[in-house]
Structure 1
Amino acid sequence: MFAEPVGQGWTQIVELAVALVLSALIGLEREIRRKSAGLRTHTIIGFSAALIMLVSKYGFTDVLGEHVVLDPSRVAAQIVSGIGFIGGGLIFVRRDAVRGLTTAAAVWLTTAVGMTAGAGLPVLATTATAAYFLVIYGLTPVADRLRDRGSDRRHVEIGYRDGEGVLRELLRICTGHGWSIEQLHTRASGTDGIDAVQGAEEGDTMTHVGATVLVVLELEGTGSYEDLVAELVGHRGVLAVTGGRAGTDDPDAE
């Protein structure tokens, strides 16, 4: 009548410890990179996944009988569904760039590592953790080189008339020409006479007449810079366009 479930011995404690250590290793890497989900988050996720896995395996042994049949995989399967909410919360869109995908994938893997350790498969859990570090530290430089091949970085300073919805169109033009917007700074100038506006980072100065706004865009992409500038210059409401290669002090006036 008061029988307790089996599965509360040293074997299960060791499996929890394996999940704790391996999850902490993955979280430590994310913490060093200053990601939103770091050491504590990954450790708790992996440890919790292992605990739920053990509950799924052993938590109902005291109610099993001739007329009770349980599927031990049902509880564990809900981990896969539930972790999607945490992963989705780590992904966000900033302007036209998606951030947090790698961290969300790391959370997913940490969950799998915890489940594997909780299932009593420490060798697979350790192998998966080692594979994670191989991907992060081994493939990241390769991915960066592939991404940088043929890619260019430019900065563009655009002065336009305020209140005409020009900025939205300017961003659409940039992305339409194959450029991603890494940074964006805007600054309104005065409304009386001629107003000199200083660039947000490069220190360049642009002069406009009337109510204008200066927007400084840091761009990266593989599109034609000349075609981009030509369309920007010809767009309604644009008063002036100045640009050059990012990180240089010799911008090419367009």
Structure 2
Amino acid sequence: MNQGWPAADSTELDGWLVRRNAGVTLRANSVLPANAPFDLGKALDYVENLYQAHGITPSFQISSAAQPADLDAHLEARGYEIRTPTLVQCAEVADILAKLAEPTVEVNISSAPDDSWTDFWWRVDGHGSPDEQATARQILHRGRALYATVWSGDHITAIGRLALVDDWSGLYCLAVDDHLRRQGLAQAVIHGLLQAATAQGIGRIWLAVVEANAPARALYDRLGFQTVASYHYRVKA
């Protein structure tokens, strides 16, 4: 997942990966604590000073694999708050395709997002200013991915991104026009992306869905995705 949404800069810190991307998304601006540092207190001080020097709020991505195992408790004691509890779900691409009907709309697939794709994404699902949109666009271009677009005349109605990492794929940026939801457009986008991924030998897919997003979870449940892990962020108050 780290490769599917790559930060501009990452610093190795005694087992931690300190990711920085001028803000915009927590994924690219949080610590991935893969291994326990020798001196936890010094490591936490270093992270806080580094992030603050770059104008980024100190944040950690916490899962059951976070090290040390009691890191979450240490962060809570230092005033870090929980943000965005998220589920990680996985499936076999063939199994998802078998449950998806053939789209009734044309799904255009490309290897890079154009301005219209990124503008639609930011309008429907983005958070921030035009400068932050430019920063987010840089994230999209750093990793190998497929991009889906559904048009109605000269207007985009739905988009999606499928990151490609080895024989895995990761679903990101699934967005549908607010006025056209519950019409099967999200499923059409997923079908188009997975069909294109199959042609490239991709056999498995992951996604991250916010725990509180009941409509998205219901869709993924119907398609057969299984929850395999969860994470949340700890963000300095």
TM range (shorter): under 0.3
Identify the structure with the greater helix proportion: 1
Identify the structure with the greater strand proportion: 2
TM-score, length basis structure 1: 0.25
